Amino acid sequence: MKVAVVGATGLVGTIMMKVLEERNFPVDELIPVASEKSVGKEIQFCGKWYPVVGMEQAVKMKPDVALFSAGGSTSLEWAPKFAETGTVVIDNSSAWRMHADKKLIVPEINADAIGKDDKIIANPNCSTIQMVLALNPLDKKYGIKRIVVSTYQSVSGTGKKAVDQMFNERSGVSGAMAYPYQIDMNVLPHIDSFLENGYTKEEMKMVNETRKILRNENIRVTSTTVRVPVKGGHSESVNVEFEKDFDLAEVRNILSAAPGIVLFDDPSKNIYPMPIDAEGKDEVFVGRIRRDESQPNTLNLWIVADNLRKGAATNAVQIAEYMSSKGLI
């Protein structure tokens, strides 16, 4: 199997290759793809060295699957060109997520939606993935009416430039700015650009993608997304109102049994999820589980995950694994 990683030299692309290697995905030939300035560099994968190639050459090589993490404009231009040659594209940008004819997939939830004619598959937003993975089994049992979510998102979600900015500020070094303000010793209630309704694109991604993945346009969702001075791992405070009442012990049992979820919830021993514990792991960690005492049928949760792994690279590789197992690649 020929596997292309588009954006191979970026933060997510690098982790995509690491995850492919860790999970023993059947890669016979790796095709690392990046911008022209990186063409000719060599990347090591599974003990072999592979030269970085440009987009046009990669398309001509007709990979079986291409994992994209190169931004929305690149994906809009190049994903269809790969798909035309028969390549299955799994795209990590926001470019295709809300297209009516493109599937938006979290494998543990809706992989069954993928068919043999699907050549461009959308990987959801990192903050959406971890939230819906935790909420999906509860939705099946109790029926979600409304979600209120506030996020605490790490700088790695922006990219290397943002990580560098934070550490430069921490060291007192001047350098390039990924954000309009200082991020170290600060929080920014601003992720992606602002829209006419006063929300950011990131906030509306969480609204729209949640409905699409859970296959329920009637779920009411409101979101506030915040950047915090943490290197890796996103955290979320989630308040969810259900159609039916719930038992907290049953909620914990449901989450404990759910694939991809780790219950980390014993406040009496100071056990609750933190990004420092989730970094480098593929699971989504859930804790601080408690009833909202201000209104009926409402639950509070704290959800944490590594945004570069399950929030991006691992989810994309899991989609490829599913499609390979079903003979769709």
The catalytic residues are 126, 234
Q: Cβ(1)–Cβ(321) under 8 Å?
A: no
Amino acid in the structure at residue 193 = S
What does the H/E/C string look like for 120-139?
EEECCCHHHHHHHHHHHHHH
- Asked if 205 and 188 count as a contact pair (C-beta separation under 8 A), the reply is no
Instruction: Give the whole-angstrom CA distance, residue 227 versus residue 287.
Output: 21
List the beta strands (DSSP E) in the chain. Answer: 2-6, 29-33, 42-45, 48-51, 65-68, 88-91, 103-104, 120-122, 144-153, 220-227, 234-242, 261-263, 284-291, 298-305
The whole-angstrom separation of Cα 315 and Cα 319 is 6
d(CA 123, CA 183): 27
d(CA 287, CA 304): 9
Distance CA 300, CA 113 (A): 30
Torsion angle, CA of 133/135/141/143, rounded to 10 degrees?
Answer: -130
Is 255 strand, coil or helix?
Answer: helix
Contact (Cβ atoms closer than 8 angstroms) between residue 161 and residue 179: no
Structure token digits, residue 323:
């499609």
138: Cα separation from own chain's centroid:
20
Helix (H, G, I), strand (E, B) or coil at 208: helix
